[in-house]
Amino acid sequence: MTLQSPHPSTLDTQDEAIGLGTFGGVFTPSILTILGVIMYLRFGWVVGQVGLYPTMAIVTIATSITFLTALSISAIATDQVVRAGGAYYMISRSLGIETGGAVGIPLYFAQALSVALYTIGFAESVKNVFPNVSIVVVALITTVLVTALALASADIAIKAQYVIMAAIALSLVALFFGHDVTVDPSDAVEAAKIERVGFWAVFAVFFPAVTGIMSGVNMSGDLKDPIRSIPRGTLAAVIVGYIIYMAIPFVLVSRTPTASNALLNPEMMVMKRIAIGGHLLIDSIVLGVWGATLSSAIGSILGAPRILQALARDNILPRSLRWLGKGNGPTDDPRLGTLFTLGIVLAVVMMGSLDAIAPVLSMFFLTTYMVLNIAAGLEGFLQSPSFRPTFKVHWSLSVLGAIGCIAVMFLINPVATIAALVIVGLIYFWLERRQIESTWGDVRQGIWMTVVRTALLNIDDNADPKNWRPHLLVLSGAPSKRWYLIEMARALTHNRGLITVASIIPSGSRSIAQQEKAEVVLREFLDKRGVQAFAKIVTADDPFIGTKQLLETYGMGPLIPNTVLLGDSDDPDIESIERYCNTIRVCHGAKRNVVIYRDESGADAPDSLHPPMYADQADQRIDVWWGGLQSNGGLMLILAYLLRTSWQWRSAEIRLKLVVSDEEALEAAEVNLENLTNSLRIGAKPEVILANNRPFEEILRTSSASADLVFLGLAVPHEGGYQAYYQTLQDRVVGLPATVMVLASENLDFSELLQKDVS
């Protein structure tokens, strides 16, 4: 089933969003997610494990990856109007709807489940202050209150984040103006019990602290000017976060005596012990922890429904969930999506701990970063005329960011990385099978254009026999009438060559536009039947002239059809046979091999259960009538071998048949043919037939009557008499099984392809 995705302009019900600015809509949610619980609960442990300067290196490396990703986001955001959906919208419009959906669906669940992760974290911190409360009850109440803020409006939720940001800022001030940690004799004993880990293990723990730039990007649909706000707000948040993270280690080292080893124990809350007022029941550091968890929860509950809304509007979600794309009010708030997300979050909160899935959630965020970097890198590398960002970033920086993301993913958790990539891959192939059509272009066509251009320029004009592949021009007419030709072409190429199905229609019967549309219809007809082929339709006064036009004009550079596949002429009219023979002569003169497939079974419909190319016998047989390795013989054996590599003919036996006139030549012919078949290594079985004064027609009919397919050579077209020769050949093969008549015309020695020097 093919689904049509709406035009981008329909993704939002209005052109102007709620009007959030850079500071409130991008910077605030991003910086609050960056300055999270890891900063409060694990940063001291990081410093204690590796020391001051390695900590600064960890912060710099981690922030560099985030910064490179922010640059890629800025480039994409300033090239296109970023509507609701944030990262999903950017990826789908750059790398295609399948890639966007493959990343967008896991990203939605990561954002949704993050709400539960943060509210449970908040509840645990509340329990540390008030031991008698229930974590689940506090988490459930917090989840509902946070969702209520999001339902009220994004504007109110953002304003609530201002209060939270004030609490975090107060905690940082209290930390920077704090006092030295009082040495406790028990500190050294407790620290000695803590396992010491290496640099990259510490890096893996710290890296999630610098993620969070998606919080602002996810609000793209609610920004007044996303093209302006996303780059400025995102980069500013990364830079401010870096400055704070580089300053805190100096405070921790200077305020904590080395002998105490207090930094190594996360349970000691060293930042609480340094900060002013740290002795209070609820101090600034506790408020900061609460603010960090609540702000991250608010950012996630704002972002997840907007991703879901965009997925529904692009027909990514199943039909039963399309209602999630509906927006409410003049601001197009995704209220239904928010309630749907609330249901998921409440169910997860009731389950309790999220330790098992938290690593996979981090992988989904990093996968999004990686794909965004790839999208920006490809756009910049391909230099597509449509990619004109006002914020220019060299493609190598985006590629470096993508490499950094995948490296960090494996450093953090290899198993979770593989799990995330497998899930993304499965969703991609699911969406590809659904064949969702989009009305916007993406970078994939540019990628293929670059690959094709490079390949064409590197293909040698002088063909090498050892690298020969069949490039078939199939003159099938209406494919439904001669479907066996298409089956023959598919069996011969078997993913090793190219097929062009061509049809010649009368001049004036179609306009150019109608002709192009007919080619599209023909291509779709072939695709639905699993045939990978190009389609070409030309107009001409008669088929002979049309074939000549195709041979003269079709192709590009060295990539032109080398073999013409056509059906046998079934018109007894003398003029028709003459035109048919002229077609063979023109193909030969153009150095194109000729393969004529004659089938008398009549099973030519594309939907027939047993077309000729699908022989049902357990032991199939292909007879190749041998006239020598040179000329037609080499090409016939190559084609027979290619047929046997297809699944239709995988069990076929190739019999190489040679007729000798007398017994004196029989023994020598048997030895020579046996040696030849052994050297060719294609599994052919030699068979020498004694004529005994019998005409070849009789030998042919008798010997090949039980074959499934027969190969015969064609004489080189010559002036005068070729028409009579071909009519004689037609009479000769009447009553035979399906027959392939071959004329080798290329300037190639096909024996070189068969007889390889392996010394």
Confidence of residue 619 (pLDDT cuts 50, 70, 90): confident
Task: Tell me what the mean pLDDT of segment 471-490 comes to.
Answer: 85
Contact 653, 619 (CB under 8 A): yes
The first and second tokens of residue 327, run together, are 């927006």
Buried b (16+ CB within 10 A) or exposed e, 431-455: beebebebeeebbeebeeeeeeeee
> Which pLDDT score is estimated for 464?
60
Structure confidence at residue 238 (pLDDT): 94
Of the listed ranges 243-252, 277-286, 337-346, 626-635, the least confidently predicted one is: 277-286
Global pTM value: 0.64
Find the distance separating the first CA and the last CA of the chain, reported in whole Å: 54
Which of 128-137, 350-359, 657-666 has the least mean pLDDT?
A: 350-359
Model pLDDT for residues 514-547, shown as the tens digit of each residue: 778 888 888 888 888 888 888 888 888 877 888 8
Cβ proximity of 226 and 77 under 8 Å: yes
**86/64 Cα distance (integer angstroms):** 22
Q: Is the pLDDT assigned to residue 245 strictly greater than 90?
A: yes
Q: Which residue has the higher pLDDT, 117 or 234?
A: 234
Is residue 17 over pLDDT 70? no
pLDDT value at residue 507: 78
User: Which pLDDT does position 241 carry in this prediction?
Assistant: 93
- Residue 340's pLDDT is what? 92
- pLDDT for residue 611: 41
Min mean pLDDT across 9-23, 391-405, 425-439, 506-520 is at: 9-23
Range from 46-55, 459-468, 676-685, 745-754 that averages highest in pLDDT: 46-55
**pLDDT tens per residue across span 420-469:** 888 888 888 887 776 655 544 455 566 666 666 666 666 666 656 666 78
The 8-class DSSP code of residue 648 comes to: G
pLDDT attached to residue 246: 95
pLDDT digits (tens, 9 = 90+) for 38-85: 788 778 888 888 888 999 999 999 999 999 999 988 888 887 666 767
In this structure, the number of other CB atoms found within 10 A of the CB of residue 617 comes to: 10
pLDDT of residue 270: 75
Nearest to 332 by CA among 300, 298, 309: 309
Please tell me whether residue 316 adopts helix, strand or coil conformation.
coil
| Residue 133 pLDDT | 87
Residue 385's pLDDT band (cuts 50, 70, 90): low
Higher-pLDDT residue of 345 and 187 is: 345
At residue 614, the pLDDT reads 47
- pLDDT at 503 > cutoff 90: no
Within 10 Å of residue 381's Cβ, how many Cβ atoms?
Answer: 18
Topology alike, domains 3-437 and 465-754: no
614 within 8 A of 652, measured Cβ to Cβ: no
pLDDT of residue 268: 52
Query: Which residues, in sequence order, are CB contacts of 727 under 8 Å at separation 6+?
Result: 577
CA separation for the pair 341, 167 (Å, rounded): 27
| Amino acid, res. 627 | G
Q: What's the pLDDT at 607?
A: 43
Predicted confidence at residue 242, as pLDDT, reads 95
Query: Would you state the pLDDT for residue 350?
Result: 83
Q: Provide the 3-class DSSP secondary structure of residue 503.
A: strand
Average pLDDT, stretch 681-703?
A: 87
Fold classification of 465-754 is Rossmann fold (3.40.50)
- Residue 577: per-residue pLDDT: 85
Mean pLDDT over each residue of the chain, to the nearest integer: 79
pLDDT at 162 over 50: yes
From residue 45, give the alpha-carbon distance in Å to each of 103, 250, 266, 269, 284: 33, 14, 6, 10, 20
User: What does the pLDDT average to over 657-666?
Assistant: 85
Query: Does residue 752 register a pLDDT over 80?
Result: no
Cα–Cα–Cα angle for 490, 493, 495, nearest 5°?
95
For the chain, domain boundaries: 3-437, 465-754
Q: What percent of the chain has pLDDT over 70?
A: 81
Lowest mean pLDDT among 319-323, 371-375, 378-382: 378-382
Instruction: Kindly state the average pLDDT of the residues 220-232.
Output: 81
Hey, is 709 helix, strand or coil? strand
Mean pLDDT of 473-480: 82
- What is the rounded CA–CA span in Å between residue 706 and residue 591? 34
CA distance 192 to 244: 29
Mean pLDDT calculated for residue range 273-288: 72
Q: Kindly indicate the confidence band of residue 16, based on its pLDDT and cuts at 50, 70 and 90.
A: very low
* pLDDT tens-digit map of 289-330: 888 888 888 888 888 888 888 888 888 888 888 888 888 777
User: Is the pLDDT at 4 greater than 50, yes or no?
Assistant: no
Is the pLDDT confidence value at 3 over 50? no
What's the CATH number for 3-437?
1.20.1740.10
For residue 680, pLDDT over 80 is answered with: no
Helical pair 97-129 and 414-434, crossing angle rounded to 10 deg: 140
pLDDT at residue 243, rounded to an integer: 95
Report the 3 state secondary structure along 532-558.
CCEEEEEEECCHHHHHHHHHHHCCECC
